[in-house]
Amino acid sequence: MLLKKMRLCFASPRLWLFLLLAFHLCVNLWWLGADNHAIRTDEETHMIMARDYYKALFPQAGDRSLGARLAAVARIRTDVGNPVHPPLLHIAGAVLTRIIGYSVDRMAFVNTLAFLAAILGVYLLVRRFLEGREAFFATLVFSLTPMVYASSRYFMTDFLSMTLVVWAMYALTRSDGFRNWRGTVVFGAMTGLSLLARTTGILYLFVPAVVVFAASFISVFKPKDGAGSRLDAAGSLLANALLVLLVAAAVAAPWYVMNGRQFVGY
């Protein structure tokens, strides 16, 4: 009986997923501690901006009120090195270093956490279509893809953007073709956050969202229900599509409005 339970345990994809996450966490922690590569170009720019957010959000002297901190954040230059960089990675780096201590390696640990979240997101996304073992194998291949694996150790916007896109795609599959308003709201929020991680985030989500919406909208007009039911279903889909736009705009628009001139100049 005990051996049978152990076999079942070790056959569980969830156990292997946990071990995969633990492996990548341990290896990345070792790498961050052992490596001393020169920090330059884009990574240097992002760390400088994270430092600026750290100073603005957690001042060591002077006025420490919420209003003063928000004013300091608003004064941060976001066009360092051009192009204009959204703030989510830099704010995440500032908050994390506040929690675990200030250093470039601890700041870069943000992307390790994003890597772990991406692995979990890929598993949940693929699990929507495949059995547990196949889903784990696909996740294993993703996590060991050289570009993905190596990039998780650098403080760059690409990685956080990728993670948010993965979770947005998962939310899209849970929205039941925009019929489930909860999944729809989460998809809108993830879309907005992806835009705050990197300006190109929307490019990966626009086509899948349009395809899913179009398929759902066409299915509404199949001759299976009455005209009134079809119109109600179509109205609900349109309302949820508008909800995606509203939620995404509520999350991302304030920052883009504040920095709109820099985008035009660039």
Give domain status of residue 4, yes or no. no
Integer angstrom CA distances of residue 2 from 7, 11, 13, 18, 71: 9, 14, 19, 22, 62
In this structure, is residue 252 part of a structural domain?
A: yes
Is 121 domain-assigned? yes
What's the pLDDT tens digit per position in 122-152? 999 999 998 989 999 999 999 999 888 888 8
- The chain-wide mean pLDDT, for the chain, equals 85
State CA 137 to chain mean position distance.
22
Block residue for tokens 């090195």: 81
Domain that holds residue 252: 42-265
| Residue carrying the six token digits 């956080």 | 160
| pLDDT tens profile 232-254 | 777 788 888 899 999 999 999 99
CA dist., res. 127 & res. 121, Å (int):
10
The verdict on residue 2 lying in a domain is no
Distance CA 242, CA 99 (A): 37
Which segments of the chain does DSSP mark as H helices, in order?
Answer: 2-10, 13-34, 41-57, 66-74, 88-100, 104-127, 132-144, 146-151, 157-174, 181-197, 201-220, 227-258, 260-265
pTM: 0.88
Q: Does 165 reside within a domain?
A: yes
Residue 22 inside a domain? The answer is: no
Question: Hey, what are 203's tokens?
Answer: 């490019």
Instruction: Kindly state whether residue 24 falls inside one of the protein's structural domains.
Output: no
Mean pLDDT of 88-105: 90
Extract the tokens encoding 247: 């939620």
Q: How far, in Å, CA of 78 to CA of 262, rounded?
A: 8
Q: Is the pLDDT of residue 264 over 80?
A: no
The number of residues in the chain equals 266
Q: What is the number of structural domains in the chain?
A: 1
